Amino acid sequence: MTQKDFKRQIELFVSSYMDKALCADTYSERQSYLNDITLIRATISRTLRLCLEHPELAKEYLDSLPKATMD
């Protein structure tokens, strides 16, 4: 995986909201999407920072999440 692929995967929802912002009909609608993008990026940054600072806790949290199973 390259850096470009990694960024694309991490910012998947940012790209989705950016598309919505570009197609918004009103200024306030566009601003709402741009505010959501800021919140999403802040959440991504905080999560990555916490995972890098506390990898054991991050792994424990990941292991505690429900897993998809094939029936």
Which of 1, 2, 36 is CA-nearest to residue 16?
A: 36
Q: What is the pLDDT of residues 4-27, one digit of tens each?
A: 999 999 999 898 899 999 999 999
- Give this prediction's pTM: 0.75
Percent of all residues in the chain with a pLDDT value above 70, rounded to a whole number: 99
User: Which whole number is the average pLDDT over 44-66?
Assistant: 95
CA–CA separation, 40 vs 10, rounded Å?
A: 10
pLDDT value, residue 71 = 67
pLDDT value, residue 26 = 95
- What average pLDDT is seen over the chain? 92
Full 3-state SS string of the chain: CCHHHHHHHHCHHHHHHHHHHHCCCCHHHHHHHHHHHHHHHHHHHHHHHHHHHCHHHHHHHHHHCCCCCCC
